């Protein structure tokens, strides 16, 4: 192990005396004190009584409260014999809690997502040959066969020995009684094959080579540094950071790769296995509890050397992390909005710093946050200027829907229809992109104008025609399409308004009945197996026309796809979101990047009602730098992120008045001063969500002002009743 290795048993300060603090994975503000007769080092997993139950927690750092009389303390009831939680992970838990203003116990819960892992798997019994046969022991021909089998001194399972030697299992017991063989524990089977860093990777192009060398050097330094790795889609960023992973493995350290949509990453996993000769360990919400437990232990024991995961993988117990890669770092999927509200990209940088690890953020369309950090020198920057193998960037053109509109009730304009027809006629693949699931985003009564709304949310119900239902995409509410308008009673009066992918599929089926079509949306591609099957069908040219939502934008490599049509390029620009332009640019640039990945050039058509919009113009020119510079110029004067800090407070209650009252009180108690501004209270973007009324306040400060102390002081001034929830979101996205 290297200099950053943490052997918890040797490095930990031993808590002397009879008191320890134990942090429990519950939303508690701080650790509780317990008594103990043993010496328990911080990080040790322990079981303690809690009320009438018991709970498993972690011996935590810091001084116990000496004031409490010893007689009032309850005792630790069990100490687990598993690797202790490392000092780095404990500091990370405390850091995330302090930054997000979450109870440390709520953060600890993410690091203890598999309590069953604390019970070691029962060791398997087997047999080995005695070093010397006792004098006088009878060696029958059958016994001799067993002795020969065990001659190498290895431990073997009884069943295996009996089968290989062709003897009855009962024979072994007799041999043991005679002292010829001894019971022994079987070596535990490796759960995770080791990726092989010595396998040669592909020959890198000169720019890739230089970037790979810089990343290798960063990993070899064994010190924290963050690098932003950019380059157009298909420029070979993945191959480059694979070299950083290889370097971490050669240094004997672990590597963590965060992917935004692990369930859709089958192509990535195939490439990893081809490069390293073994699959990485995986971490995401769909693992079975048994796999979770095995993976957790394999990470803790250092057996899993490369782990690929969703954001929660940041809280795994790596003893010696040498590298963290965040691929597609601009993705909003890295933001967790429930429970502890945190951004995994930002916390990855923190975890790398605490671990003395290199951190690599990769994207073809980096966030303005990371771009700015690279410009100010906080991050190193590496750029791959061209597609690997000389493939050209796709040719992006705009279709002005005001000049060449689709036919009435249709959504594909004549230029797009012609382009798809030509592509299919050449035997190439085409893709239609629309970031909307279902058939139609709204249902309207022709007679009275009534719109079908979710009863629990400020949202329209989306028609899913294939399933014959209307559905809320926020709370999951489902109802049957109405026979008659629920408002005016007119029979069969409702009509769908606007398109979803199902409706585009319907139109495509009429236009190109011969084309083999595939819809890729989160409801048609529910998991990794379906994603892998879809990707294979496209690669094997069993599909001519792909129709998809944002899941088709994610990192796929489809060699025969030469046309991408964006049905509604303006879709993401509506609303008052600070990052609407940035996000739309990122998403559409990524979608466009699916076209023309190999020899044949790609074409992209963007249908828009606002072709003059800067986002559309940037997509056509492909000039990311100019677009990001314009975004920066727009945000800098108002101290909007990343040039200032932002935190949101969301107040919610089932009763609107209750939420309003607390929001108003918060507004009255708002902090002020130079460089501090409070916006609101105002209805939150989803003013009603799952039956709760939501009000929002935004705290905006200059960059050199920390928001956490301000927020703590502010929130302490208001004491909301029990039916009102107050949530804090530091660095909110999507507002
Ligand atoms: P990015 O991550 O920048 O989108 P990738 O790493 O996915 O780019 O590379 C795009 C394609 O080019 C992939 O199919 C990849 O296997 C291939 N590729 C990239 N670099 C090389 C290389 N040096 N040799 C061979 N193939 C490469
Ligand atoms: Zn709803």
Distance from the alpha carbon of residue 557 to the mean position of ligand 1, in angstroms: 9
Q: Residue 716: is it exposed, middle or buried by C-beta count within 10 angstroms (0-12/13-18/19+)? A: exposed
Instruction: Report the pLDDT value the prediction gives residue 735, as an integer from 0 to 100.
Output: 59
Q: How far is the CA of 109 from the centre of ligand 2 (A)?
A: 28
| Ligand 1, CB cutoff 6 Å, lining residues | 202-205, 208, 231, 233-239, 388, 557
Residue 311, strand partner residues: none
Other C-beta atoms lying within 10 Å of the C-beta of residue 180: 23
Distance from the alpha carbon of residue 500 to the mean position of ligand 1, in angstroms? 33
Nearest CA to ligand 1 atom 25: 202
Maximum Cα–Cα distance across the chain: 103
pLDDT mean for each 10 residues of the chain (735 residues): 38 55 92 91 94 94 79 88 92 97 95 73 77 84 91 86 88 90 78 89 94 98 97 92 98 97 87 95 89 90 95 95 97 92 97 98 96 97 89 91 95 98 96 96 95 95 94 95 94 94 97 96 85 91 95 85 96 86 94 84 95 95 92 94 96 96 96 94 93 96 95 95 95 80
pLDDT value for 122: 61
Nearest CA to ligand 1 atom 9: 236
Query: How far away, in angstroms, is 388 Cα from ligand 1 center?
Result: 6
Ligand nearest, relative to CA of residue 471 = 2
C-alpha span between 312 and 112 (Å, rounded): 11
Mutate to test the pocket of ligand 1, among 213, 234, 602 (most ligand atoms within 8 A of CB): 234
Mutational test site, ligand 1, from 228, 230, 388, max ligand atoms within 8 Å of CB = 388
Atom of ligand 1 nearest to the CA of 208: 23
Q: Which atom of ligand 1 is nearest to the CA of 204?
A: 23
Collapse the DSSP code of 537 into the 3-class scheme (helix H, G, I; strand E, B; otherwise coil) and give the result: helix
Which bound ligand lies closest to the C-alpha atom of 454? 2
Residue for token pair 């502890």: 340
Give CA–CA dist 676/466, Å, rounded.
51
Which atom from ligand 1 is nearest to the alpha carbon of 557?
A: 14
At residue 203, the pLDDT reads 94
- Integer Cα distance of 418 and 421 in angstroms: 5
Q: How remote is the CA of residue 527 from the centroid of ligand 1, in Å? A: 25
Quote the CA–CA distance of 234 and 386 in Å, as a whole number. Answer: 8
Euclidean distance between CA atoms 498 and 410, whole angstroms: 9
State the DSSP code for 441: S
What is the structure's pLDDT at 117? 66
Q: In 3D, which of 437, 454, 684, 707 has the Cα closest to residue 577?
A: 684
At 360 the pLDDT is 98
Which atom of ligand 1 approaches the CA of 233 most closely? 4
Residues 6 or more apart from 235 whose CB is under 8 A from it? Answer: 364, 384, 385, 386, 387, 388
**Annotated binding-site residue? 359:** no
User: Which ligand has its closest atom nearest to the C-alpha of 208?
Assistant: 1
Strands annotated E in 474-631: 478-479, 494-497, 517-520, 545-548, 561-566, 603-608
Q: Tell the residue number behind the tokens 């990893």, with chain if given.
A: 272
From the CA of 238, how far away is ligand 1's center (Å)?
A: 7
Residues sharing a CB contact under 8 Å with residue 430, sequence separation 6 or more, in sequence order: 419, 420, 423, 424, 544, 545, 546, 561, 562, 563, 564, 565
Exposed/middle/buried for 251, CB within 10 Å: 0-12, 13-18, 19+?
A: buried
What DSSP string describes 365-391? S--HHHHHHHHTTSSEEEEE-S-GGGP
DSSP letters spanning 162-219: HHHHT--THHHHHHHHTTSEEEEEPPPPPSSPPP-TTS--PPPPHHHHHHHHHHHHHH
Q: What is the DSSP letter of 122?
A: P
DSSP H or E stretch at residue 433: strand 429-433
Give the DSSP H/E element, type plus range, for residue 323: strand 321-327
> What is the complex's ipTM, to 2 decimals?
0.97
Q: What is the pTM of this model?
A: 0.88
Closest ligand to residue 594's CA: 1
């Amino acid at each position: 192990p290297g200099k950053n290795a943490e052997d918890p048993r040797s490095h930990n300060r031993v808590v002397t005396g009879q008191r320890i603090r134990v942090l429990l994975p519950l939303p508690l503000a701080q650790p509780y004190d317990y008594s103990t007769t043993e010496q328990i080092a911080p990080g040790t997993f322990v079981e303690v009584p809690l009320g009438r139950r018991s709970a498993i927690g972690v011996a935590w750092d810091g001084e116990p409260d000496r004031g409490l009389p010893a007689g009032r303390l309850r005792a630790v009831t069990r100490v687990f014999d598993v690797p202790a939680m490392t000092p780095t992970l404990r500091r990370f838990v405390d850091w995330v809690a302090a930054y997000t203003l979450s109870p440390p116990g709520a953060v600890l819960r993410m690091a203890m997502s598999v309590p069953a892992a604390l019970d070691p798997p029962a060791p398997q019994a087997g047999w080995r040959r005695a070093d010397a046969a006792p004098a006088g022991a009878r060696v029958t021909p059958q016994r001799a066969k067993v002795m020969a089998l065990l001659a190498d001194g290895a431990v073997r399972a009884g069943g295996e020995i009996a089968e290989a030697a062709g003897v009855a299992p009962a024979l072994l017991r007799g041999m043991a009684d005679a002292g010829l063989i001894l019971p022994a524990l079987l070596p535990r089977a490796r759960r995770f094959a080791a990726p092989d860093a010595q396998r040669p990777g592909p020959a890198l192009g000169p720019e890739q080579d230089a970037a790979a060398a810089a990343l290798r050097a960063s990993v070899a330094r064994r010190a924290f540094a963050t690098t932003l790795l950019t380059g157009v889609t298909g420029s070979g960023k993945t191959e480059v950071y694979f070299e950083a992973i290889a370097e971490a493995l050669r240094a004997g350290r672990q590597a963590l790769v965060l992917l935004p949509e692990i369930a859709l990453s089958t192509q990535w996993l195939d490439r990893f296995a081809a490069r390293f000769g073994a699959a990485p360990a995986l971490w995401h919400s769909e693992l079975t509890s048994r796999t979770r437990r095995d993976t957790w232990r394999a990470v803790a024991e250092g057996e899993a050397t490369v782990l690929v995961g969703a954001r929660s993988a940041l809280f795994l117990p790596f003893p010696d992390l040498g590298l963290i890669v965040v691929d597609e770092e601009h993705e909003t999927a890295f933001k967790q909005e429930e429970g502890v509200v945190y951004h995994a990209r930002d916390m990855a940088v923190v975890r790398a710093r605490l671990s003395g690890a290199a951190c690599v953020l990769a994207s073809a369309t980096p966030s303005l946050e990371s771009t700015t950090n690279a410009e100010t020198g906080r991050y190193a920057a590496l750029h791959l200027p061209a597609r690997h193998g000389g493939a050209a960037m796709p040719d992006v053109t705009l279709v002005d829907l005001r000049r060449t509109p689709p036919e009435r009730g249709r959504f594909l304009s004549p230029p797009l229809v012609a382009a798809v027809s030509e592509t299919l006629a050449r035997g190439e693949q085409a893709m239609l992109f629309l970031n909307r699931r279902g058939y139609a985003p709204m249902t309207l009564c022709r007679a009275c104008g009534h719109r079908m709304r979710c009863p629990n949310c400020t949202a329209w119900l989306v028609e899913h025609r294939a399933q014959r239902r209307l559905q809320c995409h926020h709370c999951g509410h489902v109802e049957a399409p109405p026979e008659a308008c629920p408002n005016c009673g007119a029979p069969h009066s409702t009509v769908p308004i606007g398109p979803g992918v199902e409706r585009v599929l319907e139109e495509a089926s009429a236009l190109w009945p011969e084309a083999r079509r595939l819809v890729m949306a989160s409801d048609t591609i529910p998991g990794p197996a379906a994603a892998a099957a879809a990707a294979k069908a496209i690669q094997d040219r069993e599909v001519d026309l792909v129709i998809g939502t944002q899941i088709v934008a994610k990192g796929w490599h489809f060699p025969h796809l030469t046309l991408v049509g964006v049905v509604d390029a303006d879709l993401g620009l509506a609303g008052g979101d600070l990052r609407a332009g940035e996000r739309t640019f990122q998403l559409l640039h990524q979608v466009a990047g699916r076209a023309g990945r190999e020899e044949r050039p790609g074409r992209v058509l963007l249908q828009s009602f606002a072709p003059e919009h800067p986002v559309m113009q940037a997509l056509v020119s492909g000039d990311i730098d100019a677009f990001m510079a314009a975004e920066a110029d727009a945000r800098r004067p108002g101290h909007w992120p990343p040039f200032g800090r932002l935190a949101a407070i969301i107040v919610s209650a089932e009763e609107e008045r209750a939420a309003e009252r607390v929001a108003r009180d918060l507004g009255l108690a708002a902090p002020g001063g130079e460089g501090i501004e409070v916006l609101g209270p105002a209805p939150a973007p989803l003013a009603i969500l799952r039956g709760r009324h939501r009000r929002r306040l935004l705290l905006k400060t200059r960059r050199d002002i920390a928001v956490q102390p301000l927020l703590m002081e502010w929130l302490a001034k208001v004491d909301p009743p029990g039916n009102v929830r107050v949530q804090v979101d530091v660095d909110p996205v999507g507002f």
